Structure 1
Amino acid sequence: MVESPFDAEIRVGEVLSAEAFPETNKPEMVKLRIDLGGETVQSAAQLGYNHDPAELPGRQVLCATGLGTVRIAGFESEALTVGVPDDDGRPVLVTPDREVPLGGRQY
């Protein structure tokens, strides 16, 4: 088995806040604060094409954690919010199909 320098895992979180991210050159970028069950992380995601930031708080999402931090226009993105492309290649959130405990790890 190959050992990884990262403790990467996919966890369930709830969006606490979401706002436009005009500091980037991509109008679809959104800043997110996500509760992973007692741990709060920040994430920058290209969700603006398919998701209104005002409708994201309270929504459960999947996040890849343990990948390190990336600084985007002065914002530290600590988790990767998981999405898949729609027919136009624009991200759509991957979410549990029912409410589950926050912080839960993917099997």
Structure 2
Amino acid sequence: MEEITWGDFSKIDMRVGTVVSAEVFKEARNPAYKLVVDFGVLGLKKTSAQITKLYQPENLIGKQVVAVVNFPAKQIANIMSECLILGGLGNPGEVTLLQPERRVENGTKIA
């Protein structure tokens, strides 16, 4: 893996947000959910997440997640993804969401 500098790392804006809506993303090539995440002062951001093996949409509502919020928007099927939710990669297709150990304010910066 290529090493990065502190300068490279400082360009990544990771924030905590709360999932406010989640639904099956029928139009996606791979099984995924459409999510809307509340990042407080940064507002609501849409994304898709391939987390269907370990999570159900109804159980994601209210869950806090960690996401990169400063990637350029990317078209994924019929939505414009505005952030990248982070997770640990386990067995093929099993993504475990990264979450703060206790509830924090939406928009909290990860350092």
With structure 2 as the length reference, what TM-score do the two structures score? 0.85
> For this pair of structures, how many residues does the alignment match?
104
Distance across 1 between alignment mates of 2:79 and 2:25: 9
Distance across 2 between alignment mates of 1:60 and 1:89: 21
Compute the displacement of 1:3 (Å). Answer: 7.1
Deviations 1:30-74 (A, max 9, x none): 100000014100011101111111100101000101111110111
Q: Which structure shows the bigger proportion of residues in helix conformation?
A: 2
Distance across 2 between alignment mates of 1:76 and 1:49: 23
Residue identity in the other structure for 2:23: E
Distance across 2 between alignment mates of 1:105 and 1:52: 27
Q: In the alignment, what sits opposite 2:66?
A: 62
Superposed, 1:1-107 pairs within 5 Å as 8-27=12-31, 29-38=32-41, 39-88=43-92, 90-107=94-111
The 4+ residue runs of structure 1 with deviation greater than 4 A are 1-4
Residue identity in the other structure for 1:44: S
Distance across 2 between alignment mates of 1:78 and 1:24: 16
Q: CA RMSD in A?
A: 1.8
Identify if the C-alpha distance between structure 1 residues 34 and 2 changes in structure 2 by more than 3 Å, giving closer, same or farther: same
With structure 1 as the length reference, what TM-score do the two structures score? 0.88
Runs of at least 5 residues in structure 1 that lack an aligned partner in the other structure? none
Q: Percent identity?
A: 32
Distance across 1 between alignment mates of 2:104 and 2:47: 20
Runs of at least 5 residues in structure 2 that lack an aligned partner in the other structure? none
Alignment partner of 2:101: what SS? coil
